[in-house]
Structure 1
């Protein structure tokens, strides 16, 4: 089980950076999501979401993306392996 904490959020941010995605924390009345804008990988996170919602959303997005695990730093590969094995209900 992955803790829904700031530490997990920080690890997820590094994983997305390793994979070439840019995370943007924006304010607004929208749901967190991933999109590709003119061939750039951007994930927009609702700035006002709680930490646990941010972590859950990023895990859900990460589980739907094609991932080249060799791009993820060795330090975070075991964390990514844990993510691959969980089921989330948001």
Structure 2
């Protein structure tokens, strides 16, 4: 899957988090990686001052770290999108 750094792709990632158990928030902070995952409370915080590309990269990194199961999502489109993302290797 090709990663597209567009607002539409960011919206798809945000919708994936909305369909999961995790709450996605954009806030200011000086996180070393640009984001913070509070696993016990299921909250994901991304630096709100990140540019579009940085937000997308952070969300993809977080999805890889969380190891979400596509079968946990009700919508088939969310399942398929997550499966595609899990098969994608980011190249910097």
TM-score (norm. length: structure 2): 0.81
RMSD of the TM alignment (CA)?
1.7
Please state how far the C-alpha of 1:8 moved relative to its aligned partner.
Answer: 1.3
Aligned twin of 1:83: 85
Aligned twin of 1:12: 13
The C-alpha deviation readout for 1:45-67, integer Å capped at 9, x for no partner, is: 11100111111111111012131
Runs ≥4 residues deviating over 4 A: none
User: How far apart, CA to CA, are the structure 1 residues paired with 2:78 and 2:48?
Assistant: 24
How many residues end up aligned between the 2 structures? 88
Q: Is the 8 A contact 1:18 1:71 kept in 2?
A: no
5+ long unaligned stretches in structure 1: none
Aligned twin of 1:32: 35
5+ long unaligned stretches in structure 2: none
User: How far apart, CA to CA, are the structure 1 residues paired with 2:22 and 2:49?
Assistant: 21
